[in-house]
Amino acid sequence: MRNIKLIIEYDGKKFGGWQKQPQKLNIQGEIEKAIEEITGEKVDLIASGRTDAGVHSLGQTANFKTESKIDIEKMAFAINSKLKQSIRIIKAEEVDATFHSRYSCKGKKYRYIINNSKYGSAIYRNLEYHMPIKLDVENMKKAIKYFEGEHDFKGFKASGTSSKSSVRTIYSAKIELKEERIIIELEGNGFLYNMVRIIAGTIVDVGLGKIKPDEIPEIISSKDRTKAGKTLPPQGLYLVNVYY
Amino acid sequence: MRNIKLIIEYDGKKFGGWQKQPQKLNIQGEIEKAIEEITGEKVDLIASGRTDAGVHSLGQTANFKTESKIDIEKMAFAINSKLKQSIRIIKAEEVDATFHSRYSCKGKKYRYIINNSKYGSAIYRNLEYHMPIKLDVENMKKAIKYFEGEHDFKGFKASGTSSKSSVRTIYSAKIELKEERIIIELEGNGFLYNMVRIIAGTIVDVGLGKIKPDEIPEIISSKDRTKAGKTLPPQGLYLVNVYY
**Segment B7-46, tens digit of pLDDT:** 999 999 999 999 999 889 999 999 999 999 999 999 999 9
Quote the CA–CA distance of A237 and A67 in Å, as a whole number.
35
Quote the CA–CA distance of A92 and A62 in Å, as a whole number.
10
Nearest CA in chain B to A13: B123
What are the structural domains, with CATH classification, of chain B? 2-95 (3.30.70.580), 107-243 (3.30.70.660)
Quote the CA–CA distance of B204 and B220 in Å, as a whole number.
16
Query: Cβ A11–B122 below 8 Å, yes or no?
Result: yes
Chains A and B form CB pairs within 8 A to the count of: 59
Query: Cβ B122–A9 below 8 Å, yes or no?
Result: yes
Residues of A in contact with B10 (CB under 8 A): 122-123
Tell me: pLDDT of B161 over 80.
no
Residue B164 pLDDT: 82
Tell me which residue in B85, B118, B120 faces A122 most closely, judged by beta carbons.
B85
Helix (H) / strand (E) element for A79: namely helix A72-80
Tell me: pLDDT of B243 over 80.
yes
Q: Residues of chain A whose C-beta is under 8 A from some C-beta in B?
A: 9-11, 56, 58, 76-77, 80, 85-90, 117-123, 125, 127
Tell me: pLDDT of A95 over 80.
yes
Residue B6 pLDDT: 98
SS3 state at B94: strand
Quote the CA–CA distance of A197 and A207 in Å, as a whole number.
15
Tell me: pLDDT of A162 over 90.
no
Quote the CA–CA distance of B25 and B87 in Å, as a whole number.
12
Residue A159 pLDDT: 75
Residue B106 pLDDT: 97
Model confidence band, residue B159 (pLDDT cutoffs 50, 70, 90): confident
Quote the CA–CA distance of B198 and A236 in Å, as a whole number.
35
Query: Cβ B120–A88 below 8 Å, yes or no?
Result: yes
A123 min Cα distance to partner chain B (Å): 5
Quote the CA–CA distance of A41 and A43 in Å, as a whole number.
6
In this prediction, what percent of chain B has a pLDDT beyond 70?
A: 98
Residue A210 pLDDT: 98
> Residue range B51-63: average pLDDT?
97
Quote the CA–CA distance of A103 and B219 in Å, as a whole number.
59
Question: Chain-wide mean pLDDT for chain A?
Answer: 96
Q: Which residues contact B160 (CB under 8 A, 6 or more apart)?
A: none
Nearest CA in chain B to A89: B119
Tell me which residue in B120, B122, B127 faces A123 most closely, judged by beta carbons.
B127
**Segment B200-238, tens digit of pLDDT:** 999 999 999 999 999 999 999 999 999 999 999 999 999
> Residue range A1-9: average pLDDT?
97
Residues of B in contact with A87 (CB under 8 A): 122
Tell me: pLDDT of B162 over 90.
no
